[in-house]
Structure formats: C-alpha cells, structure tokens
Amino acid sequence: MRNEELRIGIFDSGLGGLTVVKALSQVIKGAELFYIADTKNAPYGEKTTEEILDFSLKITQYFIDTHQITALIVACNTATSAAIKTLRETYPKLIVIGTEPGIKPAIEKTKSGNIGVLATPATLKGDKYKELANNLSAGKDIVLYEQACPGLVEQIENGEIKSQKTKSMLEKWLNPMKENNVDTIVLGCTHYPLVADIIEEIMERKIEIIQTGHAIAKRLLVLSQEEGHSNSGPLNIYLYATDNIDTLSVYNILNTASPIKFISI
C-alpha cells in the first residue's frame, strides 16, 4: 500500500457493522471507506457456514473489482468465524481484519469472574468461538454464561431497538446472568451495541459492556501505518445496501445525512 491511498471495504449483514464504521471514523483519516450492508442475505447468524463463506467471497471480490480496496474488515462475528481464514488465503495482499467476541478484555475487566456472552446462534456454534473461549478461560476462575439471541438482529434491523418485544427478549436472556452475578457482558455481534443501553437498564447494576469496534479501528491504524499510510486528511464514507434498510437507524448510528445507495451484488 506504500504511496497508495488507504481504501477500506467493510461489510456486515445489515446495520451492525455501522458500529464499527463509527469507531473507524473516530480513528482513521485520509482514506476512502466503502460499507456494504448485505440486507438481502440477513441475518447471517442463522445461515449455514457455506452460505456465509459464499456471501463473504462475493462481497470481497466486488470491493476489489469496483473500489480497488487495500484493506478488508469483516464487521461480523459470524462471517469472521465462517470466512476469515479463506479470505486471508484468497487475498494475501489485502489487510484483512475480522471481528471476534471480546472475551480477553472481558476476563481482564471482570471482578466476579462471571462473564455473559451474547451472540448469534452461528457464532456460538462455530469452532472459532469455541476455541477462543476454551483457550482464554482455561486455568482461570472464570464462568462464561453464553446466550444465543435468535431474532435480536432482525429486531434491530427493523428499527425496533426500543420496542417492548426487544426488551422482553433481552430480559429473558439476561435474567439468568443477573441472578448469577455477571458483571461483564461481551457483545458477540456488531449489532448488539445498539441495544447496550437496554442491557444496562435490565441488569440494574454497573456492568462492563465489551464491544470490539474501537479495537478494530486501532488494529487497522497500526497495520495501515506499517504499510505507509500517513493517517491525515479527510475520511470519505460511502454506504451501500443490497436490499431495504432502515435509513433512519443509519442516520442515527452515524449522525450523518449521507444518502444510502442501493446496489445488487
């Protein structure tokens, strides 16, 4: 990338990856950022590994062919688990950064040793997550309370963040964590920071919420500067979706009035 512009491709199945875009906008300068919300195939968390890998490869090739990206961010825990190894092997010249549940910082933060993990069914079933959880918690006085959250991504995508149905779903999942003195909760999906306030309200105590957007932004900064990126100048963000998306939520997440461009991949 030396002497070339940093051109970032970032994708998720919908709104969730915008929490990573927001974190990137606070750290990365002098770059072009292209975000795809693959709403046509959402939610990834309930698709097969083979389907998710296919989506990921097609989107990455689109980024390369159309936008000549130099860095790829998989802003989805589920897609990272399914595709990150293949993406790195297929595109060795790209900076490729995935998204993993923040179990390591959660272990560093917890005082009770009781950690909640909220994630999609596909993430919790994936070998990558299981290996990460087992390796990091081995030999430590740590208990992971893992909870799959089917349907939560759809609620967020539909703009139902503050609805009673969403709150009821979260209460059902969080009450066992509350009863077991969980003091740290890992948000194992990039959509979930959008309901962080509701999670804190339900838990009724001061808890640590672990999300990964800022860690991804810092990692990209380090890797891009190693390749000669000066990190100065404006960051231009272009937003795309493969199907309908709740544009009001997009504007609220990013605090932007930029138009959404609908494309087909």
**For residues 86 and 96, what is the distance between their CA atoms, to the nearest angstrom?**
11
Contacts of 226 (CB under 8 A, 6+ apart): none
Asked if 189 is an active-site residue, the reply is yes
Selecting among 97, 189, 207, 210, the annotated active-site residue is 189
Q: Which two tokens stand for residue 118?
A: 């909220």
Asked if 149 is an active-site residue, the reply is no
Selecting among 21, 28, 33, 76, the annotated active-site residue is 76
Distance of CA 97 to the CA centre of its chain: 11
Active site positions, annotated: 76, 189
